[in-house]
Chains A and B, each alone.
Chain A
Amino acid sequence: MESEKKIESVSDLPIMPSTIGTMAWNRTGDWRYLTPVAANKLAPCSQNCPAAVPITDYLNALRNGHVQSALTLLLAHNPLPGLTGRLCYHPCQAKCVRRKIDRAISIQQIERFLADLGTDVTIEKNSKIDKKVAVIGSGPLGLSCAFYLGCWGCQVVVLDPRDQAGGALVDLSPEKVDPQLLVNEIGRLIRLADIKLETGVAVDFDRPGEVVSKADLVILDPTGLSEDFSVPAGAVAFNPFADKSVDSDIIAAKLPQNLKPFKAHMIAHYIGAGRLMARKAFDRLVMPSGQLGLAAPTPHLSRQMVNMEDIKIEHFLPSDLAGRAKAKQGTWEWERALKEAECCLSCGTCNLCLQCVSFCPDASIRLDEDETAVTVDLDHCKGCGICAYECPRGVITMETISA
């Protein structure tokens, strides 16, 4: 706080009893016993997403016109959005709070729109380290697993016995998945993670080739293989949902019953499973406390959850709840996607609506300097709780914080 001017002698006194400074020196922050904490929480849609995509984050980026950022955010958590944007059964939309007002946000349509933009994006990755991984099987699980390991720095090669990559996806009808689309999606995934893909390579564990024998870790994705596939000798079955740690250098994904056989509409589950596997595999390859850096994967997962009851429909301004255009199928054009993204209530995720700022009787919660978040002025905040109560999306909570 700037130091205030003082009146120290009669000659300092203005003749008319007028003020010489503000009240900023008065630390009304000392009054409070609860402190508002503004922290993004996981929206119901993201909570329900098997891949835990931070949906509100990329919708906010899109509504602000930052299309590249939106796509980048999406790709960093779902490397096959063009596929999920067509195949997924979108459990996210089932939990969309907007349903209480009119209808769910068409998240899938937006995801598809972003994916199809195909713009040249890059995502942040760790630099490559000397850990080699061989992923056998290029279905969504294997690809996802390979993608994340690649982003975190491993040198990954994906091997698939078939000529086309995609695993069971290849067997879907062209109406369901356009073959060119499949190629483009996988191609983008490979490029983004800076990994390699070799199709038409059958792997014989009795006579492993160079890739497999040099790999520090071999991961098998048997999803697309027949029911009676048995795990080769030396490979340990690994259930990414249940098993805590990887204990072998050769692991084979073992999925729960609901994911066998391959079901296209469950694609997000496979992607999520792939990431879980990658997480635990990485822990085996690299010391947990080690060089993860930005690849502390999905930092948003450590966010608290926000429940549907925490979203206060009434506190949205009339302009937030403006009328919706009719729902629409197919691939959307830019304007339509943007309009839809604008309707997202951004549950649990601060989208700088600034209701907290405008309702503070003490001007003690503000948009910060670089206009990316709100910060609480701890010197002056009296802890009245209005900001927390009025935040329509449950971002702010009142906490007891010891001095």
Chain B
Amino acid sequence: MKKVMMGTEAAALAAKLARVQVVSGYPITPQTVIVENLADMIGRSELKAKYMPVESEHSAMASCIGASLTGARAFTATSSQGLVYMHEMLHYAAGARVPVVMVNCNRALAPPWNLYCDHTDSLAQRDTGWGQYYCADAQDVLDAILIAYNVAEQALLPVMINMDAFYLTHTSELVDVPDQKVVDIFLPSYQPSSKLDVDDPKTFGNVCGADLFTSIKYRRHCDTLSLEKVWDRAATRFCDLFNRLHPTVEAYQTEDADVCVIGIGTISGAMRLAVDRLREEGLKVGSLRLAMMRPFPRDGFEEAIANVRHVIVIDRDVSFGAEGIVAQELKAILFDRHGDVKLTGFIAGVGGKDISVETIVPLVQQAISGAGTAVEAGTTLWADVLP
């Protein structure tokens, strides 16, 4: 059934369809609609769940972990400051192997205060071991949450679904809401193989010596790497049931491209338009949206840019003192091909600065010709800096 709704409404709806059992809510712009809607749904018994109006994001994640350890399906949502506040617990959740799904609304980090779209918050969590997925539109938000639970509960790792502040959280779009019965087929109830159980008592997470610690982390790393394949399989199954694709990378006209523009999130729309326009001008260019960032979707990516010679990355984030995080990730992946692939990294759109076709086209041209208004700083080129 198709309805017009904001990305945050889609997220709340997805949590309801996923029949989450424990919801922890702490408000932060622009996530608030999610926790508000869920509070209402639970209050009206539309969703049979416990709502925990926690006193901080750190406790939001902590309580989700506690609930998940008992075998309940747990959900929370946050953004920027809240996300980084719960950083400690993100590490904990992944280490505890609990399949929590969290929606993060990508927003800039203070100081100074800025409520608008920026990817530094979640990208800065890339080392925590969560699966990370970045949505393109409201439909993607809804569907990805359902897929995420499926993936998380198979791999026993938490998954973060990211959506751009305001572009997705507060923009209304047409969304096809799946039927609860079909969702139940795709996503049956969570059946953990191990949980807190008084009839089978264990201690979770006590002090560990170096030997076992190494192997535990190794095992976890392997399992985290496997998330790409697990996602692919789940997305395929999802497509069988709902006829919609949610691949880990979304490539546009890259098959014959020499140049490829790469970004994450809602920028994908503008990137496609820029590709069309640049192709009219004769440039063999394509675009790539990385949907999954953790683990890095190696297989999908390498297939998409097999023939590309020049990668142009637009980072809506920065790792201060280094460069754009997506650029860094790509450089790592392309290390073996560094001889024949050039990478130009731009920082653009931070703090909610709009990225449109008009932004992207000059950046591509600057990347190719070397002339343009983006300012150099280390290995990065910053767009929209004051003169």
Contact = CB atoms under 8 A, between A and B. Distances in A.
A3 interface: no
A15 B157 CA distance: 10
A14 B96 CA distance: 11
Contacts of A19: 202-204, 206
A17 interface: yes
Contact of A7 (B95, B97, B212): B212
A16 B97 contact: yes
B3 interface: no
B219 interface: yes
Q: Which of A10, A13, A14, A18 has most B Cβ within 10 Å?
A: A18
A17 B208 contact: yes
A18 B216 CA distance: 11
Interface string A4-42: 000100100111111110000000000000000000000
A13 B193 CA distance: 14
Contact of A16 (B194, B206, B215, B218): B194
B210 to A, nearest CB: 14
Contacts of A16: 96-98, 156, 194, 204
Contacts of B96: 16-17
Given A7-B212, A18-B194, A13 B219 contact: yes
Contact of B194 (A7, A10, A14): A14
Contact of B204 (A7, A10, A18): A18
Interface in A140-180: none
B202 A18 contact: yes
Contacts, number: 39
Interface string B166-194: 00000000000000000000000000011
A15 B215 CA distance: 11
Interface in B253-305: none
A15 B97 CA distance: 7
Nearest to B200: A18
Nearest to B206: A19
Contacts of A14: 194
A402 B194 CA distance: 46
Contacts of A13: 212, 215-216, 219
A17 B95 contact: yes
- Chain A's interface size range is 10 to 19
A384 B315 CA distance: 62
A10 B215 contact: yes
Interface string B210-228: 0010011011000100000
Contacts of A10: 215, 218-219
Contacts of B218: 10
A7 B205 CA distance: 15
A16 B204 CA distance: 7
A24 to B, nearest CB: 14
Contacts of B215: 7, 10, 13
A18 B203 contact: yes
The residue among B95, B215, B218 with the most chain A CB atoms within 10 A of its own CB is: B215
Contacts of B97: 15-17
A314 B14 CA distance: 64
Contacts of B208: 17
B242 to A, nearest CB: 29
A16 B96 CA distance: 6
Nearest to A18: B202
A17 B204 contact: yes
A10 B222 CA distance: 11
B204 A15 contact: no
Contacts of B95: 17
Contacts of B193: 15
A34 to B, nearest CB: 28
A17 B194 contact: no
Contacts of A18: 194, 202-205
Nearest to B201: A19
Interface string A263-284: 0000000000000000000000
B194 A15 contact: yes
A5 to B, nearest CB: 12
Given A7-B212, A10-B215, A10-B218, A15 B156 contact: yes
Interface centre among A7, A10, A13, A16 (most CB of B within 10 A): A16
A17 B95 CA distance: 8
Nearest to B202: A18
A250 B170 CA distance: 118
A169 to B, nearest CB: 68
A13 B97 CA distance: 13
* B96, B156, B206, B216: residue with the most chain A Cβ atoms closer than 10 Å: B216
Nearest to B193: A15
Contacts of A7: 212, 215
A17 B214 CA distance: 12
A228 B202 CA distance: 85
A13 B156 CA distance: 14
A17 B219 CA distance: 11
A7 B219 CA distance: 13
Contacts of B156: 15-16
Contacts of A17: 95-97, 204-205, 208, 216
Interface in B5-37: none
B31 to A, nearest CB: 28
Contacts of B216: 13, 17
A138 B141 CA distance: 107
A182 B95 CA distance: 84
Contacts of B212: 7, 13
B197 to A, nearest CB: 10
A13 B211 CA distance: 12
A20 B215 CA distance: 16
29 contacts: A7-B212, A7-B215, A10-B218, A10-B219, A13-B215, A13-B216, A13-B219, A14-B194, A15-B156, A15-B193, A15-B194, A15-B219, A15-B223, A16-B96, A16-B97, A16-B98, A16-B156, A16-B194, A16-B204, A17-B95, A17-B97, A17-B204, A17-B205, A17-B216, A18-B194, A18-B202, A18-B203, A19-B202, A20-B202
4 smallest beta-carbon distances between A and B, as pairs: A18-B202, A16-B97, A19-B203, A19-B202
Given A15-B194, A15-B219, 8 more contacts: A7-B212, A10-B218, A10-B219, A15-B223, A16-B98, A16-B204, A17-B208, A18-B203
Interface of B: 95-98, 156, 193-194, 202-206, 208, 212, 215-216, 218-219, 223
